[in-house]
Amino acid sequence: MKGPVLVVGVGINNRPLLRYFGERGVPVVAADRMEPDQYSGPREPGVQWCFGSDYLEQARRLGPYEEVYLTPGMIKRQPAVLALLGEGTRLTCETDLFLKNCPAPVIGITGSAGKTTTTSLVGAILRQDQSRPVYVGGNIGESLLPELARINPDSWVVMELSSFQLELTETSPHGAAVLNLAPNHLDIHPSYEAYAEAKSHIFRHQSPSDWLVVPEPPPLLLGSALAEHQGRRLAFRVGEAVPRGAYAADGAIRWAGGGAERVVMPVAEWHLPGRMNLENACAATALSLAAGARLEAVREALSTFTGVPHRLEVVGEYGGVRYINDSIATAPDRTMAALEALAGPLIVILGGYDKHLDYAELGRALTDRVRMAVVLGQTGPAIARAIGPGPAVLEARSLEEAVALARRHARPGDTVLLSPAAASYDMFRNFEERGERFRTLVHDLDA
């Protein structure tokens, strides 16, 4: 590479790029809209920094660049980015760099919901198998780029991959799964079709020896991409058998592959609630067994898995009322899955940052399912309008007020569910901070 590379956005995902290129003698320009005193990350030697509202204009003056590494979630159609493209620059990302240089086979998981649970499960299964070192990362945690020196061809790498991370990739993992597809992130992607197209990059570049796991039936918007897929294809399903893959039916999780069907374990030994979580277990089973894991390792990992924080997490029970943290629900389909998973009278706390999503279907589900809704944030009014007659709808100005209202109106036997159906950015840095605040507020009820 002759000239410098431009790294746009120096948050958690992109910071490892600065050291990666620095160690290889590649000049780096780093650009971010934050002010210099707001940056608390490492100051790698040899990096030229561009901070402030005109950061891209500053960076362009230091070019030209062969490659520009954009931070995940950056809108690609904004004028400054289009100007870079017009100068012959290749737009790429940290994820594609890692996939191209990783010496080990990679299993990637994407979808509109269930990514973290399924990624965690596959990592747990492969570790239980104990045949090879396992690295888990991507959207689930920190970048795996700093681990490249330790990863060898005998390792396994398991990655959660978002649409933002996949949008600019030209390399696909060896094993891939698309768990589901529903409208999301339409504040960043120009359309649902563009969002689906980004997701499809997880398998678009697979070879005939690679494998893909999709639900049966597969999402309609993946149809044309699936028709061109070159690798092996497996399926997962709940309620009915699949010809090749994993499914749950007749009280058991089953594996259909290699000319024989085998029982993995009874469904009763799977501890997470709801249909979606059972689908996640089937998808993880198919991915892991296709990778060569032992059936016994799958059974042991699934039967001992207790879930991931902020995903239908039982926070506590106070005064006969159960409190559940589902802060991960940043879109309507995720909240609808939570409603389906839980029994008994529900008070649901909803609302947050506006991603330009449609709440009509969620409104119908809330009308049929909940006793009360407490709404807040930018999307609170839209969610309130979508709810039909029947449930009481209360408005709150903060999560603290929402929890207080829910507690005041809850009766013994009720469940208070935080499942916002919206992102958190209008009030919190991320869904984790929102969930942790909810957890603290609930624990304070017993103080």
pLDDT in tens, the chain (447 residues): 567 999 999 988 899 999 999 999 999 999 999 999 999 888 888 899 999 999 999 999 998 999 999 999 898 888 888 888 878 889 999 999 999 999 999 999 999 999 999 999 999 999 999 889 999 999 998 899 999 999 999 999 999 999 999 999 999 999 999 999 999 999 999 999 999 999 999 999 999 999 999 999 999 999 999 999 999 999 999 999 999 999 999 999 999 987 789 999 999 999 999 999 999 999 999 999 999 999 999 999 999 999 999 999 999 999 999 999 999 999 999 999 999 999 999 999 999 999 999 999 999 999 999 999 999 999 999 999 999 999 999 999 999 999 999 999 999 999 999 999 999 999 999 999 999 999 999 999 976
Q: Are residues 297 and 333 in the same domain?
A: no
Shared-domain flag, residues 156 and 279: yes
Cα distances from 422 to residues 186, 272, 419, in angstroms, run: 12, 23, 8
The answer on 100 and 88 residing in a single domain is no
My answer on whether 209 and 237 are in the same domain is yes
Range of the domain at 435: 313-446
Q: Is the peptide bond before 72 cis (omega within 30 degrees of 0)?
A: no
Are 279 and 160 within one domain?
yes
Q: Which amino acid is at 360?
A: A
- 382 and 320 share one domain: yes
Whether 37 and 152 share a structural domain: no
**Sheet bearing 90-92, strands edge to edge:** 47-51, 28-32, 5-8, 67-70, 90-92
With contact defined as beta carbons under 8 Å apart, do 30 and 7 qualify?
A: yes
Amino acid at 96: D
Domain limit, last residue, from 76, 92, 108:
92
**Final residue before a domain boundary, out of 41, 76, 92:** 92
* Active site residue ranges: 115, 139, 185
200 and 158 co-located in one domain: yes
CATH number at residue 82: 3.40.50.720
Residues 66 and 101 in one domain: no
C-alpha torsion sign, points 121, 127, 130, 131 = positive
Q: Are residues 369 and 442 in the same domain?
A: yes
Q: How many domains does the chain have?
A: 3
Relative orientation angle of helices 275-290 and 332-341, to the nearest 10 degrees: 100
Residue type, 413: G
Same domain as 192, residue 115? yes
Distance CA 184, CA 359 (A): 12
Q: Which of 92, 112, 130 lies at the terminal end of a domain, its last residue?
A: 92
Nearest to 98 by CA among 201, 208, 13: 13
Whether residues 264 and 233 fall in one domain: yes
